[in-house]
Chains A and B, each alone.
Chain A
Amino acid sequence: MRVIDLTLKDLRQLVRDWKTAFFMVAMPIVFTLFFGLIFGGQGGETDPRLPVAFLNNDCSSSLSASLLSLLEASSSIRPVVLDEGSAQTASELVRDGERAAALIVPVGFGQAAERLASGEAIVDGQPMKATVIVDQHQASGQTAVQAIETAVTRLLSAAQIARISTEAFEASTSFEDQAARQAYQDQALALASEAWREPPLFVTVEKAVVESELQESPANAYVQSSPGMIIQFTIHGLMMSGMIMVLERKTGTLRRLLTTPMTRAQIIAGKTLSTLVPVLVQETLLVAVGQFVFGVDYLREPVAVVLVMVALALWVCSLGLLIAAFAKIEDQVHTWSLVAMFVFSALGGAWFPLEITGKTFAAIGHLTPTAWAMDGFQNIVLRGQGLTSVLLPVSILLAYAVVFFALAVWRFRFE
């Protein structure tokens, strides 16, 4: 009972500072919305494909016209035709981030591509090439250049097929004249280009989710940002409790508690509960917002979600207690809480998936408790898995909590 009284006392102190409490709930909602909109809205308002500038200086060639058609059939990019402008304009568009890439078709490209199909070198031994301007360090740039290469390769393929068909016909019979030959070749090119719009052997991608609803639902941009921001701001929330403990130590209140019949263990338990309760309340509110506002389906496995929330909260409490054990003044609580929030959030994949980082960073990141918390949430909302899928992440979070608690209790000073 005394533990409960101590907890309630601390909770009343926390609730008095309603602005900070509001900040703890409002800010993660704003961040979730922001990152979800930003990363879910790339590539265009109505067409989600990456915009690629297309400058065709070889308008008289049917081959170059076929290229635009092949680009339009792409599932990853959409060509945005530049009516006029130079390579510099196209380059600036890419440099300034307005286009994922730019494709510039030079004069004579169509003719050059046809000759390339015949294996002939052009123009002083140098093949004429179209220029792709792209920042390959960006994920969007990589996607764009791959899609452009595919379209151009299919175009060359169409030219190659036209040449093969023409030569096969010439070997079987003969053309009336050069015009008939050209007409045959043009027809072959048109047939092949049209066939490439729906190739006979193709690849489809499915996501490995357990439930069919998740498989069919449109991609939700908030499934990364919602759990990520829950984790980040849960860590941030421990700052308040740490501040209370440090203030009480400074003012001697904590030492005075030792003169009461309460044991040290009871005092620490009370302090821990006073951190655990607001963290759980914060998590619950944010999960509810994620569920009902952002459409992240946490409630498909409520028990699993609660397990992850409790394990995360316990680890965060242990971290808060550890900080309070070492900090002497409020500024130190501030500093270490912020550093912990940034480091654990970045390393643990709360800001961006670890998959898109370098090998070493990803490996180190997966050692952090935040990465396991993300795994736990994403197993439910993204992979569509059930209770058993969160047992490992929860166990690891609890193990971290035990270690941090042990350290904190060992180092905790009452004066």
Chain B
Amino acid sequence: MTVHLRKAIDIALKDLIRSFRNVFGLVMMFLVPILLTAMMYFAFGTLFRGDGGFDVPLTRVQVANLDVPSPQLGGFSAGQILLEFLQDESLSNLLQLSEAPDEASARGAVKNQTADVAIIVPSNFTAAVLEPEGTARVTLVQDPTLTLGPSIVKGLVSQLADTFSGAKIAAGTVARQFGQRGVPVKPQMFQDIATEYATWAAEVGQARADGMHPALDVQAPLSKAEPRSWGAEVAGLVMVGMMIFFAFFTGANTAGTIISEQENGTLARLFTTPTTHTAILGGKFTGVFVTVLVQVLVLTLLTTAIFGVHWGMPLTVSLAVLALVIVVSGFGVFIISFIKTTRQQGSVLGSVLTLAGMAGGLFTTSLSTPPRAFEIIQLLTPHGWALRAWKLALAGASAGEVALPVVVLLGMGAVFFAIGALRFRKRFA
């Protein structure tokens, strides 16, 4: 028994040394996951500044102010107020504003990609503000490839439009209620109402701009995880997906050495030795297990060191590591048991692992509201369950909370391994 165990260990060690000497293997195990995580960290991790603001590219805005000022009110122009609002210094890190002489120029600037958004203030804007039944539409023309910048501009313009709308609604409500009760409205009253409302709206607007809405308290979702930077959060989520994907890749490729040894004839020669089939296959499978374990441990430690990722409570993380390594090893043995030649290996592994990874949600780990159907599909794959376990760990879950995905993964790993081992025993009997 001890002799066979020693031989199995020797075989495992030999495979381990070969795995870690293979440059391509090392690149796929470590370099590519770290590279992808670093790129995502660089792309999104620096998006939010520590002061609560965000560091997005400037949105280039062209404003065509066609508004006709009111001569009765000394040239009052709601369009000019909108323009001055957008030109405020506090918005200079978000908007790069310029004025267009007319609507066609503003639209043309967006089509020529010299502007991201054009704001067309209609000629009846001031009139609509002053007339009781007046309505007006401010048109935003945006570059169709953009989303964030135009939504920022829309939010700002809507905020000001709401101020004017509120004053009109106030005047209209007073007029209607007074009219219903037969109480005459003094002409100056509408002006006073509008002024009072606008003062209130400006105070609320300022409070909103300072992040202190008078009636709302904005909080982050409860999390048991330690507070961490947005960059670390991005890196953690991306690395979870990458680590699981490339762990499955490593598991299958390491198990695939059985096929290459069979083709080279070294496996057949091994079977002629006094070493039992069980010891030989056991050594191979142990090699798979240890290779994946080393990969997962190194990646978690590297991401902690480089990106400051806190993986969660030690026991929870340990369970997630164990479950992942077991299901990856089992799945690797299972999938390789269906492959006959090394030529098949590349295309079959590539497509199966990529499709399973996609279905398991590994490429969309930071998606906040996935479609319901997709959530169901995820749970049909070992990748989806592994992702669930690791996301819980990242969120600070206890060992008890991660028990279900861990048990499912261990079960899947055992079943995959059993089927794969059985098929190999039949093949090499």
Q: Does B27 contact A (CB under 8 A)?
A: yes
Taken residue by residue from 127 to 140, chain A's Cβ proximity to chain B (1 for < 8 Å, 0 otherwise) reads as 10111111111111
CB pair B217 A131 closer than 8 Å:
yes
Contacts of B36 in A (CB 8 A): 342, 346
Contacts of A135 in B (CB 8 A): 220-221, 368
Q: Does A412 contact B (CB under 8 A)?
A: no
CB pair A161 B170 closer than 8 Å:
yes
State in angstroms the CA–CA spacing of A134 and B218 once bound together: 7
A204-B139, A206-B140 known; A95+B216 contact, CB < 8 A? no
Q: Does B166 contact A (CB under 8 A)?
A: yes
CB pair A355 B215 closer than 8 Å:
no
In the complex, chain A residues 337-373 whose Cβ is within 8 Å of any chain B Cβ: 338-339, 342-343, 346-347, 352-353, 355-363
In the complex, chain A residues 153-180 whose Cβ is within 8 Å of any chain B Cβ: 153-157, 160-162, 164-165, 168-169, 172-173
CB pair A207 B144 closer than 8 Å:
yes
Contacts of B32 in A (CB 8 A): 338-339, 342
CB pair B165 A200 closer than 8 Å:
yes
Q: Does A202 contact B (CB under 8 A)?
A: yes
Which of A41, A94, A191, A358 is B221 in contact with, Cβ under 8 Å?
A94
Q: Does A188 contact B (CB under 8 A)?
A: yes
Contacts of B350 in A (CB 8 A): 23, 27
Residue of A nearest to B157 (CB): A203
Contact residues of A: prevailing secondary structure:
helix
CB pair B142 A160 closer than 8 Å:
no
Q: Does B147 contact A (CB under 8 A)?
A: yes
Count contacts on B: residues with CB < 8 A to the other chain.
112
Count contacts on A: residues with CB < 8 A to the other chain.
110
CB pair A191 B176 closer than 8 Å:
yes
Residue of A nearest to B194 (CB): A164
Binds B, one of A31-39, A265-273, A288-296, A402-410: A31-39
Q: Does A148 contact B (CB under 8 A)?
A: yes
State in angstroms the CA–CA spacing of A382 and B145 once bound together: 7
State in angstroms the CA–CA spacing of A150 and B204 once bound together: 11
CB pair B208 A195 closer than 8 Å:
no
Residue with the greatest number of chain B CB neighbours at <10 A, chosen from A34, A208, A360, A385: A208
Taken residue by residue from 132 to 149, chain B's Cβ proximity to chain A (1 for < 8 Å, 0 otherwise) reads as 001111111111111111
- For residue A242, give the distance in angstroms from its CB to the closest CB of chain B: 13
A94-B221, A132-B216, A343-B39 known; A165+B111 contact, CB < 8 A? no
CB pair A184 B177 closer than 8 Å:
yes
CB pair B144 A208 closer than 8 Å:
yes
Binds A, one of B41-49, B69-77, B295-303, B328-336: B41-49
A97-B369, A164-B193 known; A203+B138 contact, CB < 8 A? yes
- For residue A126, give the distance in angstroms from its CB to the closest CB of chain B: 10
Residue of B nearest to A119 (CB): B200
- For residue B412, give the distance in angstroms from its CB to the closest CB of chain A: 22
CB pair B129 A157 closer than 8 Å:
no
State in angstroms the CA–CA spacing of A339 and B32 once bound together: 7
Q: Does B285 contact A (CB under 8 A)?
A: no
Which of B39, B140, B197 is A161 in contact with, Cβ under 8 Å?
B197
State in angstroms the CA–CA spacing of A266 and B107 once bound together: 50
State in angstroms the CA–CA spacing of A137 and B223 once bound together: 15
CB pair B22 A331 closer than 8 Å:
yes
Contacts of B189 in A (CB 8 A): 168
CB pair A355 B148 closer than 8 Å:
yes
- For residue A375, give the distance in angstroms from its CB to the closest CB of chain B: 9
Binds B, one of A7-15, A43-51, A251-259, A315-323: A43-51
Q: Does A282 contact B (CB under 8 A)?
A: no
Q: Does A415 contact B (CB under 8 A)?
A: no
Residue of B nearest to A366 (CB): B57
Which of B24, B134, B183, B368 is A200 in contact with, Cβ under 8 Å?
B134
In the complex, chain B residues 270-318 whose Cβ is within 8 Å of any chain A Cβ: none
Contacts of A356 in B (CB 8 A): 44, 56, 147-148
Q: Does A149 contact B (CB under 8 A)?
A: yes
- For residue A96, give the distance in angstroms from its CB to the closest CB of chain B: 9
Contacts of B104 in A (CB 8 A): none
Q: Does A42 contact B (CB under 8 A)?
A: yes
Residue with the greatest number of chain B CB neighbours at <10 A, chosen from A188, A206, A209: A206
State in angstroms the CA–CA spacing of A146 and B150 once bound together: 14
Q: Does A187 contact B (CB under 8 A)?
A: yes
CB pair B183 A169 closer than 8 Å:
yes
Contacts of B31 in A (CB 8 A): 339
A38-B370, A168-B174, A195-B169 known; A149+B213 contact, CB < 8 A? yes
Contacts of B3 in A (CB 8 A): none
State in angstroms the CA–CA spacing of A395 and B143 once bound together: 22
Residue of A nearest to B217 (CB): A129
Which of A99, A145, A165 is B218 in contact with, Cβ under 8 Å?
A145
State in angstroms the CA–CA spacing of A361 and B197 once bound together: 43
A131-B217, A133-B219 known; A208+B367 contact, CB < 8 A? no
Residue of A nearest to B364 (CB): A38
Contacts of B204 in A (CB 8 A): 153, 156
Contacts of A206 in B (CB 8 A): 139-142
Residue of A nearest to B139 (CB): A204
CB pair B46 A358 closer than 8 Å:
yes
Binds A, one of B7-15, B259-267, B351-359: B351-359
Given A95-B221, A136-B218, A152-B216, output 5 extra A-B contacts at Cβ < 8 Å. Answer: A20-B347, A97-B368, A150-B158, A161-B169, A359-B57
User: Can you give 26 contacting A-B residue pairs, CB < 8 Å?
Assistant: A19-B344, A38-B371, A42-B370, A97-B370, A112-B215, A129-B214, A132-B216, A132-B217, A156-B204, A160-B166, A160-B200, A168-B193, A188-B173, A192-B169, A192-B170, A195-B169, A204-B139, A207-B141, A331-B23, A339-B31, A346-B43, A355-B149, A358-B42, A358-B43, A358-B47, A361-B43
- 9 closest cross-chain pairs (CB), A and B: A95-B221, A331-B24, A199-B165, A207-B144, A208-B110, A19-B347, A357-B43, A41-B371, A358-B46
